[in-house]
Amino acid sequence: MIKIIQAKHVQQKILRLYFSDNSWGDYDLQPLIDRQTELVIPLNDEGYFKQFFLELGALCWRNGLELSPGNIHKKLAEQQQLNDAAKVA
């Protein structure tokens, strides 16, 4: 089971996510925010957006929004945006 082990704000609505399988990728949340659903509307505020945290390997915000690390990992892989940390070293 893939987990997010570290997350860093990179720019605007992009987070650099490090996964438990030693891979990492820059995940752009703007497409999700553009849907303007009730849970993602607060992410429009930059200050609120930056208050993300990890809980049990998932990406979370205090309003209850929780994003699955497995789904994010899969999307990054499909978009060829997933990097192998071992290859960088």
Q: What is the per-residue pLDDT across 56-78, written as a single tens digit (0 to 9) for each?
A: 999 999 999 999 999 999 999 99
Is 84 within 8 Å of 77 (Cβ atoms)?
no
CA-wise closest residue to 44 among 53, 54, 34, 52: 34
- CA-atom Rg of the chain in angstroms: 13
Model pLDDT for residues 2-58, shown as the tens digit of each residue: 999 999 999 999 999 999 999 999 999 999 999 999 999 999 999 999 999 999 999
Provide the whole-model pTM. 0.92
Q: Rounded to a whole number, what is the distance in angstroms from the first to the last CA of the chain?
A: 24
Domain positions in the chain: 4-79
C-alpha to C-alpha distance for 73 and 79, rounded to whole angstroms = 10
Neighbours of 4 (CB within 10 A): 26
* Fold annotation for 4-79: NE0471 N-terminal domain-like (3.30.2020)
